[in-house]
């Protein structure tokens, strides 16, 4: 099935998102992937689908309800997209649970990791579980009987709930026949049984199994006819009118709690749930059968993500690695990071190389008497951050600290609000960017007094200032004290914190001003070279490709003979390899151990071999509704590294590369003979604890 209307030059975004999740699920299907990692990939699919429903499907349903006129770029109407999405998601979820039940759980059981069903509990386990229920569950559970004074509760988004069918009368003579029990989020969804009552090395029990076994204790004197777990997913987009509110942080704090109670968009139930109960739940949530997902197993697979961390079985996980350091930073235990940057620009390739130099850069700045100011953007940094601690320490020491905190970073709003409050408490300047534009650029600037003059040092990157994701996501970060690059970064900070016209930048391309036009110009330059008979080449790596004008420019470049390779991890609306449209364009996606997150743009430009790195994908929002930067790699040695490590290795990958056809379907590129090449494994070998310059 194609992902657009026949003849359309664009593929559908929502269906492309499901194609991406099929590629992630293939990692769980791959028997060469360690078992506990297969379980993680299964959970990642569930997490991705949660956000897909909370945002993309919720948006589709709103368009349908509002009867939004017109077709999308793919030529499809919202109700047509929703029908296709529903069909394909049901098939994807069915395969997900089939894989869980038929391969992963049996495989783990053979390795001594078991998830015990109620019928498999022995007497000792039953006694322990009963005591656990009364000790840990009973005190925090609040059953809600449904009657005229207790209507159906507005269950929290993605919470685990139980619909209970009852018979008999309670102490007040009521006999509504049904109740809802919500499992508080503080309760673990998977419980490890003690060794003394375990029949194998690791015996786990689902919280849902414990509650099913003892739900009758919540309804004294009544008979439980059935107990059925369910989970509702809700629209989680926040609405804050930035033009109207006087204080964005206060407005957002008031809106955040409503995220848990948006309109329902999906209902998940276990396979034991009968039709009359699922019909009742659908009716209460205002959903139809297209929104209904009945699964064979727990409805909250995302919570299984924590299980591998509790199991000490290295043979069931990816081999551990120690991130490396560039040679210039290996020479001393605690090198003077500013001295190192003055000698040469420093390039870090995460997670193969350590994120620690980025932390050290800000920690050293916080205590260095010569540092007078620090400026930084914060999009996602986590709830426990050494970088944020360094900024707080710097402000506490009297340095000028300015932090641009993006309060509207989806699902990180609460953490960012908390950091903003803590920074303000110690005297840091906290600003929230520009109304109507998320600040997504990743940049930090330190100003230091040296020999009577002020010198600027900057770090710019493709990923967040988040030490946790820096071990899981592939990203590049660049340290430089190039005066003109630093001046450009300073100009962007001035725009974010002050008022005035945008100044001209020498090296940086910036959204929403120059990035889109500069990118189109760079593509067109390759077109002109091709038409003049000169070699022309474009290679680009990103998370998503959706912006129509960029896609049209790439089609035009293909028609002119420009050879184009696109490495797009997720959604791609461009149709490659179509005769007369895109025969010179190849699209591939790399899915592996690490989440590919780098954005790299290469243009041959008559042999100049321009390399740009960015925090931005080729999407409308990145070009026009966000503050983004795209920065060049200027030193020849580092250019070569980015071209080799970030692009060419990925184009040679024949183990984790998926090639896309003109209909938006992907095919795993495998090599039966010859050398098998995996970009991520090669980079681990070459960079992790390696002596790279």
The set of catalytic residues is 440
* Helix, strand and coil percent figures for the chain, each rounded to 5: 40, 25, 35
CA torsion sign for 163, 167, 172, 176 is: positive
Q: Measuring CA to CA, which residue among 630, 353, 661 is closest to residue 507?
A: 630
How crowded is residue 497: how many other Cβ atoms within 10 Å of its Cβ?
Answer: 16
Q: State how far the Cα of 516 lies from the Cα of 623, in Å rounded to an integer.
A: 6
Q: Which residues contact 15 (CB under 8 A, 6 or more apart)?
A: 3, 81, 84, 85, 88, 664
207, 189 contact by CB (below 8 A) = yes
Q: Which residues contact 276 (CB under 8 A, 6 or more apart)?
A: none
**666 token code pair:** 């992907």
How far, CA to CA in Å, does 381 sit from each of 71, 95, 158?
38, 34, 24
**377 token code pair:** 């953007």
113-115 and 144-145: which strand pairing? unpaired
Give 690-693 contacts, CB < 8 A, sequence gap 24+: 690/324, 691/324, 691/327, 691/330, 692/324, 692/326, 692/327, 692/353, 692/641, 693/326, 693/327, 693/328, 693/637
How crowded is residue 194: how many other Cβ atoms within 10 Å of its Cβ?
Answer: 10
Q: State how far the Cα of 593 lies from the Cα of 479, in Å rounded to an integer.
A: 27
How far, CA to CA in Å, does 144 sit from each of 264, 281, 498?
20, 15, 52
Q: Measuring CA to CA, which residue among 437, 540, 409 is closest to residue 496?
A: 437
Q: Measuring CA to CA, which residue among 314, 347, 346, 327 is closest to residue 689?
A: 327
Rg (CA), the chain: 27
| Residues 37, 55, 620: CA angle, nearest 5 degrees | 100
Q: State how far the Cα of 460 lies from the Cα of 446, in Å rounded to an integer.
A: 12
Q: Is 121 helix (H, G, I), strand (E, B) or coil?
A: coil
| Angular region, 288: left φ>0, alpha ψ -120 to 50, beta rest | beta
**229 token code pair:** 């777990």
Q: Which residues contact 110 (CB under 8 A, 6 or more apart)?
A: none
| Angular region, 642: left φ>0, alpha ψ -120 to 50, beta rest | alpha
15, 85 contact by CB (below 8 A) = yes
DSSP 228: E
Tokens 């600027």 sit on residue:
456
Query: Which residues are bridge partners to 356 per DSSP?
Result: none
Q: State how far the Cα of 392 lies from the Cα of 337, in Å rounded to an integer.
A: 20
Q: State how far the Cα of 285 lies from the Cα of 288, in Å rounded to an integer.
A: 9
How far, CA to CA in Å, does 61 sit from each of 67, 90, 669?
10, 17, 36
Return the H-helix or E-strand segment holding 680. helix 679-687
């Amino acid at each position: 099935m194609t992902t657009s209307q026949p003849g359309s030059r664009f593929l559908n975004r929502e269906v492309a998102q499901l194609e991406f999740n099929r590629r992630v699920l293939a990692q769980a299907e791959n028997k060469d992937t360690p078992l506990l990692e297969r379980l993680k990939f299964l959970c990642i699919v569930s997490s991705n689908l949660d956000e897909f429903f909370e945002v993309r499907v919720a948006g589709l349903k709103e368009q349908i309800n509002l009867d939004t006129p017109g077709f999308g770029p793919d030529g499809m109407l919202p109700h047509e997209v929703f029908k296709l999405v529903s069909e394909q998601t049901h098939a994807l979820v069915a395969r997900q649970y089939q894989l869980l039940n038929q391969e992963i759980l049996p495989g783990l059981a053979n390795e001594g990791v078991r998830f015990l069903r109620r019928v498999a509990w022995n007497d000792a386990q039953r006694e322990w579980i009963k005591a656990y229920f009364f000790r840990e569950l009973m005190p925090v559970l609040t059953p809600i009987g449904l009657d005229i004074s207790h209507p159906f509760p507005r269950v929290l988004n993605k919470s685990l709930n139980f619909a209970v069918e009852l018979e008999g009368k309670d102490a007040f003579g009521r006999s509504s026949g049904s109740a809802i029990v919500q499992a508080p989020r503080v309760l673990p969804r998977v419980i490890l049984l003690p060794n003394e009552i375990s029949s194998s090395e690791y015996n786990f029990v689902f919280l849902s199994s414990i509650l099913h076994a003892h739900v009758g204790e919540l309804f004294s004197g009544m008979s439980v006819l059935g107990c059925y777990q369910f989970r509702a997913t809700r629209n989680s987009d926040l609405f804050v009118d930035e033009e109207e509110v006087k204080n964005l942080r206060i407005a957002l704090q008031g809106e955040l709690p409503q995220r848990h109670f948006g309109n329902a968009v999906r209902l998940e139930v276990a396979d034991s749930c009968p039709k009359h109960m699922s019909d009742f739940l659908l009716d209460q949530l205002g959903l139809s059968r297209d929104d209904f997902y009945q699964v064979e197993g727990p409805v909250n697979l995302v919570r299984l993500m924590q299980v591998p961390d509790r199991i000490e079985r290295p043979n069931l996980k990816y081999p551990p690695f120690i991130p490396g350091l560039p040679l210039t930073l290996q020479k001393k235990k605690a090198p003077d990071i500013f001295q190192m940057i003055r000698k040469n620009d420093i390039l870090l390739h995460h997670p193969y190389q350590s994120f620690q130099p980025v932390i050290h850069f800000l920690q050293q700045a916080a205590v260095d008497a010569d540092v007078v100011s620090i400026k930084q953007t914060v999009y996602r940094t986590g709830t426990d951050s050494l970088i944020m601690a360094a900024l707080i320490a710097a402000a506490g020491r009297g340095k000028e600290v300015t932090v641009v905190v993006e309060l509207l970073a989806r699902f990180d709003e609460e953490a960012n609000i908390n950091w903003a409050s803590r920074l303000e408490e110690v005297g840091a300047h906290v600003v929230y960017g520009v109304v109507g534009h998320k600040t997504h650029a990743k940049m930090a600037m330190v100003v230091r007094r040296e020999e009577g003059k002020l010198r600027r040092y900057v770090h710019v990157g493709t990923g967040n200032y988040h030490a946790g994701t820096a071990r899981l996501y592939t990203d590049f970060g660049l340290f430089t004290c190039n005066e003109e690059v630093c001046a450009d970064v300073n100009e962007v900070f001035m725009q974010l914190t002050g008022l005035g016209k945008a100044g001209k930048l020498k090296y940086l391309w910036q959204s929403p001003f120059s990035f889109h036009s500069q990118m189109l110009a760079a593509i067109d330059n390759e077109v002109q070279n091709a038409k003049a008979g000169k070699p022309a080449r474009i290679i680009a790596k990103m998370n998503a490709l959706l912006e129509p004008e960029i896609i049209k420019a790439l089609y035009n470049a293909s028609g002119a003979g420009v050879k184009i390779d696109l490495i797009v991890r997720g959604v791609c609306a461009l149709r490659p390899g179509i005769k007369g449209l895109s025969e010179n364009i190849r699209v591939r996606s790399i899915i592996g151990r690490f989440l590919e997150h780098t954005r790299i743009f290469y243009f041959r430009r008559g042999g100049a071999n321009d390399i740009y790195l960015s925090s931005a994908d080729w999407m409308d929002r990145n070009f026009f509704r966000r503050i983004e930067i795209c920065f060049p790699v200027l030193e020849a040695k580092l250019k070569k590294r980015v071209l080799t490590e970030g692009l060419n290795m990925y184009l040679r990958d024949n183990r984790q590369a998926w090639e896309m056809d003109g209909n938006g379907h992907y095919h795993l590129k495998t090599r039966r003979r010859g050398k098998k090449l995996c970009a991520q494994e090669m980079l681990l070998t070459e960079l992790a604890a390696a002596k790279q310059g």
